[in-house]
Amino acid sequence: MEGGFTGKEAYQQHFNPKDYLGVHLPFGSGSTPACEALFSFVLQKLHKAFLLSSIRGDTLIDIGSGPSIYQLLSACESFKEIIATDFLEQNREELQKWLKKDPEAFDWSPMVKYVCQLKGNRKKWMEKEETLRRTVKQVLKCDVTLANPFHPLVVPPADCVLSTFCLEAACQDLPTYRSAVRNVGSLVKPGGHLIFAVFTEETFYMVGPHRFSCLYLTKDRVEEAMKEAGFCIRWSEMASAHLPPEIADAQHVAVLVAQKQC
């Protein structure tokens, strides 16, 4: 796996959800300060998108959920239904553990409390968890390199499609990335929204002992791909990543909110 593009088979064989969560997603006690700062920024911007910018509707599709739920914490109060998705079976299984309250599931409560604090009431974190569990109606397999990422299933277009740190890991080059943005964008209704959280200027990240490749992107390249897919950028914000080199080499994180042209 050293060097070159990390393909689907390598992910299926070597991506361990617990290793990923243990390094990248701890919040509070035991966390890496740079990772905590990075995900605090993302949670703040998703709060802005869903609760302050009033992006809402019937259905949200989360593309490349991984084993994670943090990205859905603000969205779950703005949509009646959330469809979580990922290419890897082990990630979908890990996500289902949390949804089913499996005792071995990852503890997301520090992040849930943080998001509740953004809204002004940290004590309602258990209600937030239950709201999210009720709102996630399906966990599906997806492949962003396919024209229909859910092939052979056909999923109706959604009011919003969200994707955090997925496409840059799934695409080997810029043409493939632009195609993947079009594929994901096709799942959005006219007038609906596409929201990305993206690592920029990154070439790799680590999960346990395994190194996974990332497509080197800039915020401008992401915006260009979204525009080519038929979206206009409503707003975007960026922050420095400052990740330790033993975790990843991303220089920045960007959150972009775009609307599909009617």
Which residues belong to the annotated binding site for S-adenosyl-L-methionine?
A: 20, 64-65, 70, 86, 91, 143-144
CB contact at 8 A, 65 and 91: yes
Which residue from 81, 89, 39 is spatially nearest to 61, judged by alpha carbons?
A: 81
Q: What amino acid is encoded at 145 in this protein?
A: T
Would you give the end-to-end CA distance of the chain in angstroms? 43
Which residue from 203, 261, 241, 189 is spatially nearest to 6, judged by alpha carbons?
A: 203
Q: How many helices (H) and strands (E) does the chain have?
A: 9, 9
Task: Indicate the SS3 state at residue 167.
Answer: helix
**93 Cβ neighbours under 8 A, 6+ residues apart:** 17
Joined together, the tokens standing for residue 218 give 């800039």
CB contact at 8 A, 171 and 180: yes
Cα torsion through 56, 59, 63, 64, rounded to 10: 100
Annotated binding site: 20, 64-65, 70, 86, 91, 143-144
